[in-house]
Structure 1
């Protein structure tokens, strides 16, 4: 029934006289209202009054960023680091947060992973609680505490940090609501095993789960088949999970193996998807936290039935809960991505004496001019060859059997494409040596191979080049850093 004019006037008057804060005005709507409490700022500013507004971190050193007394909520955390974009530094700097005098941390995560990027990378992306933008690392996760907060960063690596800048803002209060729960973030790193899911978090107490960062990389090939795995979430002691998903990228609010590529959204995104099969992806349960009153376990499958072994999974779980809570699993001793921690066990230069070529010449090239990192700062360099030419190297095995064979090569603007065979049988995929810069390929997995006892013939045959490859040797150069051979 239509409202009569008098009723419409009454409704309009009620709306006009309602308190301003009772109306929804968007995220900035109540910014004009008076705020309770105060603000405490912690930073790396130069207390001498000069402009050296940073700290240094030597290998083995721990730096305290915050040692705060009283109740509060950490609201904003920014930092930046030099040397910049160094994988070893990003995985060796460990952030830890201790709330209310606890002896073990509620946050223990390598720095780049904590801020939303796996593989020890820094890369521009934006989401609601975390981002990396134009050199900065930012977190807006609210982190409450009742009596104290202590935040540290430890340099577990071998490289010194020359410049560590930070700004941290804490809203201070006389007392927090009793419902306030502690913020947690936990890092895990595993290599998948057949028949066994990956556990991202297992905890007990009362709380709610708010986010997942997951980085995955196959150690053989670049198949994304591991994304067939479903999430399986057990709440409050369930023996059958109450949440079962339909695929890994589906859980992260995407689809079809992230077929349209990288993107960043406020609550979900994929920030790394590359030709090596790497996926770095996040989902924040800000609009849909998962509550628990007694316990919580988050497993995720790899492949359709946990049938994608040999994939490296690193994860950060973000959640809020009561204290006390279970102690975190110990961090792995080796935090570097396995693809980067792998090094040749056979230097290619050492094979020069027994190597043969059907065309071109072999020589050892000093790679010390470039800073990207070749084992021994040298490579075996095959020059002045052409398509159809072959290079044969001798690989010795102590006994016959199945071995994992990995190659390490070089890419540059004048390098060609080659295929590899072992004792006359083609192995692996074609290796394209073209790049716009001089750089190591990193590990190139050939998978399990059969070696006979004694000498085995490993042959590289030039088959072509990328259309842009040009320069010395007409773009058909081949550079070999070495090989890793390990018994399965």
Structure 2
């Protein structure tokens, strides 16, 4: 139906409110008419209100004629960007650098630290890249509401209040000098920040490899405050794929036994879906900056600006890795961002290794005829065959994989090809998997039963070598048959897992 002018005006007002209110909600409300403006209005809604303080900028500008507007940081050295005395709020922080000598993962090996009100332990300690939302020490252009990396410049707009002093440093942990570090740090000065203002914190952690059965700790702190963001860069170290993304976020507030925040998957937490179905993206509060399916890497950011997580006594933030029991073996590097009261607990030490950690090679049994390999030419009279990645499971499977036979019925047969180098008698070993939903198989060669393999176990485990006896093989192709024979009464299914076979003298 036609819309009236008043209806259009009302709709426009609602749209304006929808656009403005979320921004205003991130800081204190606008002061009523006749009242002094409140501290913290870092958005368009507060620009028309008079401020009593001033803005000063610490920067790398040249102090003398003929110098460049940049600083050098020698290897192993630390420089102080800001040493401010008095109350204020860090409003803007910009950095870039020109590096004439190539330094591997330079952005990961420059360490940012912030100290508020004379504290001896920093409230911010993180590699430069992770602090500005970038994983793996790599540059990727992106823009979010509080931080961004755009056309060579790092930008941060997190408000960072302090009552007495602020000190910001950068440490160079590389082997060579940083030739030209440019920076601007803007501070809004004032007589004092409001009572109850919380201090800004950012903490970097890394665990590689992750521990089976244990989630990754992103943050564990005591005090009162609110959690406002996570940066994650993760990579599979054993096996293939991005199965670590199956893990959920868990947030425990004030010592609770069950998490008040429990998610549905890591990529869901970072605002995407189905392992980042359509690729990388950026948005104001969440994004994916790295989605590398060839090297099994993921990096993303998630800001809790519209949904900060408050706590009064303590906070613990965890990320699961894997679908079931934190089974994925991966490299997890995280940045936690939050505001809280002082004093804060001392941060754990930064990891010794900040650079790239390469995946481990797959476990191999010498001489193994891998059941899942094309050379084995597996086929089945019933059910389906697929290669199953076993790298995330306890135990060792050759090639970190097995051939999985599913949906078969008793009497169905699976055929495997064994190529003998010459006609003679060999010893034959088989390697299988046992689990709670696995069935039993008869192993047959040339019409002779070699063994019956019992598939049941309370948990998934490799059998190791099972001696199948001595067999006569002709040179070239020989056919080995596995016949589904039934199952243990305790087994819940008829699955079969075959790692492979090995010939011996």
TM-align CA RMSD: 2.9
Of 316, 332, 337 in structure 2, the residue corresponding to residue 318 of structure 1 is 337
Alpha-carbon distance, 1:19 to partner: 5.7
| Alignment partner of 1:217 out of 229, 235, 255 | 235
2:225 is aligned with 1:230: no
Q: Which residue of 2 aligns with 1:472?
A: none
How many pairs are equivalent? 342
What CA distance in whole angstroms lies between the structure 2 residues aligned with 1:259 and 1:87? 30
Against the structure 1 CA distance between its residues 200 and 287, is the aligned structure 2 distance closer, same or farther, given a 3 Å change threshold? same
1:112 to 129, 136, 145: 129
Name which of 65, 70, 92 aligns with 2:81.
65
When Rg is computed on C-alpha atoms for both structures, the one with the higher figure is 2
Decide whether the 8 Å contact of 1:98 with 1:105 is kept in 2: yes
Q: Does 1:405 align with 2:424?
A: no
Structure 2 gaps of 5+ residues are: 1-31, 375-389, 400-505
* Stretch deviating more after TM superposition (250-259 or 133-142): 250-259
8 Å Cα contact 1:235-1:242 kept in structure 2: yes
Could you give the per-residue CA deviations for residues 57-80 of structure 1, whole angstroms, max 9, x where no partner exists?
111110000000000000000001
Rounded to whole Å, the distance in 1 between the matches of 2:33 and 2:51 is: 17
Partner of 2:354: 335
- Call closer, same or farther: CA 1:429–1:56 in 2, change over 3 Å: farther
Residue in structure 2 matched with residue 259 of structure 1 by the alignment:
277
Three-state SS of the structure 1 residue aligned to 2:196 is coil
Hey, what's the Cα distance between the residues in 2 that align with 1:130 and 1:427?
A: 50
Q: Which residue of 2 aligns with 1:290?
A: 309
Q: Counterpart in 2 of 1:379?
A: none
Q: Which residue of 2 aligns with 1:390?
A: none
Q: 2:76·2:174 contact (CA, 8 Å) conserved in 1?
A: yes
2:95 paired residue number: 79
> Does the 8 A contact of 2:250 with 2:317 survive in 1?
yes
Taking the TM superposition and a 5 Å limit, the aligned residue runs for 1:84-233 are 86-190=103-207, 191-233=209-251
Kept in 2: contact 1:405–1:449 (CA 8 A): no
Match of 1:49 among 65, 74, 83: 65
Give the 3-state SS of the residue equivalent to 1:405 in structure 2. coil
Aligned with residue 37 of structure 1, among 48, 53, 56: 53
C-alpha deviation, 1:334, in angstroms: 1.1
TM superposition shift of 1:316? 0.2
Give the TM-score, by structure 1 length.
Answer: 0.65
* 1:421/1:427 contact within 8 Å kept: no
* Alpha-carbon distance between aligned partners in 1 of 2:154 and 2:79, rounded to the nearest angstrom: 18
- CA gap 1:177/1:30 in 2 versus in 1, 3 angstroms: closer
Deviations 1:317-347 (A, max 9, x none): 00000001100000011111212xx8xxxxx
Q: Distance in 1 between matches of 2:86 and 2:203?
A: 25
Measured in 2, the distance between the counterparts of 1:266 and 1:87 equals 30
Q: Distance in 2 between matches of 1:121 and 1:164?
A: 17
For residues 143 and 271 of structure 1, what CA distance do their matches in structure 2 show?
25
Query: Residue 234 of structure 2 contacts residue 331 of structure 2 at CA under 8 Å; is this kept in 1?
Result: yes
After superposition, the Cα gap between the structure-2 partners of 1:257 and 1:206, relative to the gap in structure 1 and judged at 3 Å, is same
Task: Within 5 Å, give how 1:312-391 maps onto structure 2.
Answer: 312-339=331-358
Pair 427,284 (structure 1): closer, same or farther in 2 beyond 3 Å: farther
Contact 1:86 1:120 in 2 (8 A): no
2: CA distance, partners of 1:166 / 1:287: 29
1:295-310 alignment runs, 5 A limit: 295-310=314-329
Shift of 1:307: 3.6
Kindly indicate whether the alpha-carbon contact (under 8 Å) linking 1:200 and 1:300 is maintained by their aligned counterparts in 2: yes
- Unpaired stretches in structure 1, ≥5 consecutive residues: 1-17, 343-403, 408-419, 431-445, 452-488
Rounded Cα–Cα distance in structure 1 between residues aligned with 2:373 and 2:159: 47
SS of 2:267's equivalent in the other structure is: helix
The separation in 1 between residues aligned to 2:317 and 2:353, in whole angstroms, is 24
Q: Tell me the CA shift for residue 421 of structure 1.
A: 11
Offset from partner CA, 1:452-475 (integer Å, 9 cap, x none): xxxxxxxxxxxxxxxxxxxxxxxx
Q: Is the 1:272–1:280 contact (alpha carbons within 8 Å) kept by the matching residues of 2?
A: yes
Secondary structure of 2:268's aligned partner: helix
Shift in Å, 1:274: 1.0
Give secondary structure in 2 for the equivalent of 1:281: strand
Q: How far 1:406 moved relative to its partner?
A: 7.1
8 Å CA contact 1:87, 1:119 repeated in 2 = no
Please give the alpha-carbon distance, in whole angstroms, between the structure 2 residues aligned to 1:174 and 1:116. Answer: 32
Offset at 1:197?
0.5
